[in-house]
Amino acid sequence: MSDPAGQSGAVCEPRQQAGCSQHIDDRQFARWTRLLEGRAGLFIAPERKSFLASGLRARMRETGCEDLAEYYQLLSSPAMQAREWPLLVDQLTVHETCFFRHAPSMRLVEKVVLPEHSASMTTFNAWSVACSTGEEAYSLAMLIDHFYAGNSTARRFGVTGTDISLPALQQARTGAYMDRRLKDIPEDFRERYCTPVIQRRFEVEKELRERVCFAQLNLRDVASAPMADMDLVFCQNLLIYYDRERRLEIVNSLSDCLRPGGVLVLGPGELLNWQHPHMEKVRYQDTLAYRRTD
């Protein structure tokens, strides 16, 4: 492991107390971001320096470390690293999400992707990339189930949600959410797929939950992951955290996971001027999506 905390002296002198300034200097920033990307596949853009600093400080506080050097030691210690790395990764990722977050993209799935697909195929595989706590994956499952419910031929479908964050995935697997999240779900779906449970919570209905599975997957490992022949790859609010070069790597590897005719849905504005020999733009209002052509 490299030495981002500069235990040899230069970087951390004078020692910064956890309770003091959030500042980390450029050299420390470069070293920590190298370590985070190399070890965890986590990219922190230069403009998010204070986000990194406050994330590190939060973990230092939790672990009782007084400065970056001590925290780095803890992170490298064989006894602690298996526990602390996931917590640090979780601290340094943004999990904000909601059901049916981007309505035009959901409409595109309902009005274009599903009808096109159902004309020729009997199974449908969707992937919610960077699914956070699962709302996006369950939203897609509701849309797909609803679409097929009105269809006389029995259809099979599955939705896979993946994320780097284990705590987020743990929450996703429960399929249980606070009632205040219900407002994001269209009323007929709310009635059909959401069951009240105790303490102002509701649960996604069991049969639908069984259509959705969750797994940890770091985006840098997509090429070697068993994600192939997808009909729909849905990737929103993730690329914004990456620079252009990494965005291109990510979308190129995601497009390799599509079957011919499969569609990649990104967030509008998340990628400009992307060209790929086997992907064509799907034109649908207020969305950014591409169809695999080969």
User: 138 is written with which tokens?
Assistant: 């369950």
Residue among 131 and 204 whose Cβ is closer to ligand SAM: 131
Please tell me the distance from the alpha carbon of residue 227 to that of residue 81, in angstroms, as a whole number. 29
Q: Please report, as residue ranges, which positions from 145 to 204 form the binding site for ligand SAM (by CB under 6 A).
A: 163-165, 168
Which of the stretches 21-29, 176-184, 188-196, 234-242 binds ligand SAM when contact is defined by CB under 6 A? 234-242
User: 125 is written with which tokens?
Assistant: 């595989």
Least Å distance, CB 172 to ligand SAM, is 9
Residue among 166 and 197 whose Cβ is closer to ligand SAM: 166
Give how many residues touch ligand SAM by CB under 6 A: 21
Residue among 168 and 208 whose Cβ is closer to ligand SAM: 168
Distances (CA, A) of 284 to 105, 209, 248: 9, 29, 22
User: 258 is written with which tokens?
Assistant: 């599509």
User: 201 is written with which tokens?
Assistant: 């919570």
Using an 8 Å Cβ cutoff, are 66 and 18 in contact? yes
* Contact between 105 and ligand SAM per CB under 6 A: no
What order of strands is seen across the sheet that includes strand 176-178?
Answer: 176-178, 201-204, 194-197
Among 236, 251, 265, 266, which residue sits at the site for ligand SAM (rule: CB under 6 A)?
236
**In the block, which residue shows the tokens 């006389």?**
152
Residue among 16 and 171 whose Cβ is closer to ligand SAM: 171
- Tell which phi-psi region holds residue 43, choosing left (phi > 0), alpha (psi between -120 and 50) or beta: beta
* Contact between 28 and ligand SAM per CB under 6 A: no
* Contact between 215 and ligand SAM per CB under 6 A: no
Hey, what amino acid is at 1? Answer: M
Residue among 118 and 253 whose Cβ is closer to ligand SAM: 253
Please tell me the distance from the alpha carbon of residue 279 to that of residue 252, in angstroms, as a whole number. 10
* Contact between 140 and ligand SAM per CB under 6 A: no
Among 56, 143, 208, 238, which residue sits at the site for ligand SAM (rule: CB under 6 A)?
238
Residues near ligand SAM (CB under 6 A): 41-42, 93-97, 101, 130-132, 136, 163-165, 168, 218-219, 236-238
